[in-house]
Homo-oligomer: A and B are copies of this chain.
Amino acid sequence: MANILILGAGVMGTALSVPAADNGHSVRLIGTPLDQQIIAALKRPGGVHPKLDDPLPANVEPIDIEELDARHVEEADAVIIGVSSPGIEWVFAQLDALIDDPRPLGFVTKGLVAGPAGVSTYAEAVPESLAAVPRDLFIGIGGPCIARELANRRPTASIYACRDRGRAEELSHLMQTGYYRLETTDDATGVEACAALKNFYAIGVSAMQTGYPDLVRPGAQTRNPTAAAFSQATREMALICGQFGGQPATAFDLAGVGDLHVTVGGGRNSRLGHGLGAGRRVSEIMGVELAGETVEGIDTARALSGWISRGIETGRLKAAELPLALAIVNAIVDDAPFDFDFGLMGRS
């Protein structure tokens, strides 16, 4: 049995403790400074994560950030970074302080970073100072995975990606259960690109779920526009994935199609899309029903915006191949009405 350290006690970090614990491993679940109430709740007898349904297995040890010491990290056979994107800077700082010897690092944080040299995924944007965490130990985790369902042991499949595929195999061996099925790939770039892109595209696809009401049946929605946009999103994800140096085919599997499917129709990115489809603007939606929430697709849109513009200017990208991305970027960056022109699909 192994020791697994999970950094971040949000829903995803906490949910990942369940298959790890079900496999008999000792799991240490470390809260960030923002997770102190969660850790306190988990420490109570029979305590439950405020956003999950059931107590965690007995072999999951909740640990407050104040209690974290070097021994916890030294004893870990694998570390899983389970924070969402606002926590990523904190995690990088912790890693720098905590990790002396390189070890496998599972990574669920999804996002893109725009820098002077272009756009990169979080795993690729790890500060150079983190010499103890070489990128070929980063194992990106993609695929359809609503955390609460995983914590409830409902079945799904995910994909673990590492440049050194053997590392992904090792971690998947520790984590796979009957309900959490794991594949591996060496296309870390592709899986992490898709993990970020699917939040972004879920905004646009979900907008179709409210943007084209049935003309006859009150309250009903049409379904062709959503399906056509889903297909377009898949195609565009594959194109961007390839441009990032990943494999386009990664977008057609669990990390792309699978994760986009589960992200459309539920969650914060989708709710933003539903508001946009109803003709509202991002600023309004973010000021009302999503006030205070992190919508990761917004950050991805901002990171992609300049990259797409420069790509079109230099001929590396064609606007005609990314109509859905451009419509989403425009709505978010310019706080404009979402306007996807179906006339940009099909023959010109």
- Show the binding face of A for B, using Cβ within 8 Å: 53, 143-146, 149-150, 152, 154-157, 169, 172-173, 176, 178-179, 181-184, 212, 214-216, 222-228, 230-232, 234-235, 238, 252-254, 257-259, 261-262, 265-266, 342-343, 345-347
Known: A262-B223, A347-B183. A152 touches B215 (CB 8 A): yes
Could you list some 15 contacts between A and B, CB below 8 A? Answer: A144-B224, A150-B224, A154-B215, A157-B345, A176-B346, A176-B347, A181-B228, A181-B343, A181-B347, A227-B258, A227-B261, A234-B253, A238-B252, A252-B257, A257-B257
Report B-chain residues with C-beta under 8 Å of the C-beta of A226: 261-262
Closest Cβ neighbor of A235 among chain B residues = B253
A154 touching B222, Cβ below 8 Å: yes
B347 touching A231, Cβ below 8 Å: no
User: Whole-angstrom distance between the alpha carbons of A173 and B231 in the complex?
Assistant: 22
Known: A53-B216, A173-B347. A228 touches B155 (CB 8 A): yes
Report B-chain residues with C-beta under 8 Å of the C-beta of A144: 223-224, 227-228, 231
Report B-chain residues with C-beta under 8 Å of the C-beta of A150: 224
Q: Which of A157, A224, A259 has the most CB of B within 10 A?
A: A224
Report B-chain residues with C-beta under 8 Å of the C-beta of A235: 252-253
Q: Which of A169, A226, A231, A345 has the most CB of B within 10 A?
A: A231
Q: Which of A145, A182, A253 has the most CB of B within 10 A?
A: A253
User: Whole-angstrom distance between the alpha carbons of A155 and B212 in the complex?
Assistant: 8
User: Whole-angstrom distance between the alpha carbons of A152 and B143 in the complex?
Assistant: 36
User: Whole-angstrom distance between the alpha carbons of A257 and B228 in the complex?
Assistant: 9
Indicate which residue in B143, B212, B214, B347 contacts A228 across the interface (CB closer than 8 Å). Answer: B143
Report B-chain residues with C-beta under 8 Å of the C-beta of A225: 154-156
Q: Which of A178, A253, A257 has the most CB of B within 10 A?
A: A257
B266 touching A223, Cβ below 8 Å: yes
Q: Chain B's nearest CB lies how many Å from the CB of A22?
A: 14
A224 touching B347, Cβ below 8 Å: no
Report B-chain residues with C-beta under 8 Å of the C-beta of A149: 214, 222-224
Known: A342-B155, A343-B178. A254 touches B231 (CB 8 A): yes
Indicate which residue in B228, B257, B265 contacts A254 across the interface (CB closer than 8 Å). Answer: B228
A182 touching B347, Cβ below 8 Å: yes
Report B-chain residues with C-beta under 8 Å of the C-beta of A257: 230-231, 234, 252, 257
User: Whole-angstrom distance between the alpha carbons of A15 and B152 in the complex?
Assistant: 44
B223 touching A181, Cβ below 8 Å: no
B216 touching A152, Cβ below 8 Å: yes
Report B-chain residues with C-beta under 8 Å of the C-beta of A252: 234-235, 238, 252, 257
A228 touching B157, Cβ below 8 Å: yes
A182 touching B346, Cβ below 8 Å: yes
Report B-chain residues with C-beta under 8 Å of the C-beta of A169: 347
Report B-chain residues with C-beta under 8 Å of the C-beta of A234: 252-253, 257
User: Whole-angstrom distance between the alpha carbons of A224 and B179 in the complex?
Assistant: 11
Closest Cβ neighbor of A184 among chain B residues = B347
A228 touching B343, Cβ below 8 Å: no
B262 touching A146, Cβ below 8 Å: no
B212 touching A262, Cβ below 8 Å: no
Report B-chain residues with C-beta under 8 Å of the C-beta of A157: 228, 231-232, 342, 345-346
B224 touching A145, Cβ below 8 Å: yes
User: Given A155-B225, A227-B259, A228-B254, 20 other A-B contacts at CB below 8 A?
Assistant: A53-B215, A53-B216, A143-B231, A144-B224, A149-B224, A156-B227, A156-B228, A169-B347, A172-B346, A176-B347, A179-B342, A181-B228, A181-B343, A182-B347, A183-B347, A223-B266, A226-B262, A231-B257, A234-B257, A257-B257
